[in-house]
Structure 1
């Protein structure tokens, strides 16, 4: 069997992954979100500004027989199209019209997949998305922008089959100290956005192949 170790950072000491639960407006819709990085899980456990300690739950996922969609393989345009399905990067009429075309051209049908793997769309990534749809970012630097800051890859458990193959490791619960890891979370986010702005303002960003030009034949 092909088992991978994943971590779920949360404010909750007791967690029961349940098929069909979760917020629709999360990155990949309803599902249970995890990461391979325990350090990122610790940061995500205390990312809220409530000064409350969090927890990291450890899981094993048996991937045998699962259909896994990896947005790192599909590319950044497919990933952005997925985010646009449930989240608006701008509130203009122009964006609403172009977003539909963008999703139709670059979107992926995720319904057949058991697990979705891809970048985590936190505040830094939405900075990218908003600037991209405003035609301020050239397509050629999108991948590099996403790599800045090491903000993390997440897994989203989607199907009932995938949930049945996910099991929490006994006696593995870890408490996360708020002050230490919330500071790390904020520092990572601030540093990433600073690096992104430097790249966006550099000569590497030619602003030639931009959002609105992707629909021209």
Structure 2
């Protein structure tokens, strides 16, 4: 049995992961986000400006029989395309048209995966994405730019099956 220990940061003292909840606008869409990093989970726990306290929660995930997409095993372009599916880096018509073409060319169909594992993104990475789509950042330096700053790795639990093994 392959079991991994993961953490989730929340403003709530009690946290029971529930399938179907989450935000479609997060990096990998709707799901329950966890990390192996206690420090990153702590950061998530207090990310709301109106909350003063946060809570860290520890979970064990049995990965046996789960289909896991690991973006670290794919091109950074595939990861960027996944972010573009769920988040808008810019509200211009040009960005929307070019982002759709980029997603079509580099995107991965994630619908068959129970878990998505990959880097987390913050505001600076969406700036890079916007500049890349505008053709202001060359593909040769894109991966180097995105690797700066230590993003941290997150796991997104996507399916009812995966929730059952958490």
The yes-or-no answer on 1:18 pairing with 2:18 is yes
Q: How many residue pairs are counted as aligned between the two chains?
A: 166
The yes-or-no answer on 1:70 pairing with 2:70 is yes
Query: Is the 1:89–1:133 contact (alpha carbons within 8 Å) kept by the matching residues of 2?
Result: no
Structure 1: distance between partners of 2:51 and 2:101: 42
Q: What does residue 85 of structure 2 align with?
A: 85
Relative to 1, partners in 2 of residues 1:157 and 1:51: Cα closer, same or farther, differing over 3 Å? closer
Q: What does residue 58 of structure 1 align with?
A: 58
Matches within 5 A, 1:1-217: 1-50=1-50, 52-166=52-166
Find the residue that maps to 2:7 and give its secondary structure.
strand
Structure 2: distance between partners of 1:36 and 1:124: 22
Structure 1: distance between partners of 2:162 and 2:147: 28
Runs of 4+ in 1 over 3 A off after TM superposition: none
Q: Deviations over 1:172-197 (max 9, x none)?
A: xxxxxxxxxxxxxxxxxxxxxxxxxx
Q: What does residue 179 of structure 1 align with?
A: none
Query: Is the 2:69–2:116 contact (alpha carbons within 8 Å) kept by the matching residues of 1?
Result: yes
Normalising by structure 1, we get a TM-score of 0.73
Find the residue that maps to 1:156 and give its secondary structure.
strand
Question: Displacement of 1:146 after TM fit?
Answer: 2.1
Structure 1: distance between partners of 2:153 and 2:11: 20
Normalising by structure 2, we get a TM-score of 0.94
Structure 2: distance between partners of 1:43 and 1:88: 23
Gaps of 5+ in 2: none
Structure 2: distance between partners of 1:49 and 1:93: 31
Worse-matched range after superposition: 33-42 or 143-152 = 143-152
Q: Which has the higher helix share?
A: 1
Find the residue that maps to 2:56 and give its secondary structure.
strand
Higher Rg = 1
Query: Is the 2:11–2:51 contact (alpha carbons within 8 Å) kept by the matching residues of 1?
Result: no
Find the residue that maps to 1:57 and give its secondary structure.
strand
Q: Deviations over 1:193-212 (max 9, x none)?
A: xxxxxxxxxxxxxxxxxxxx
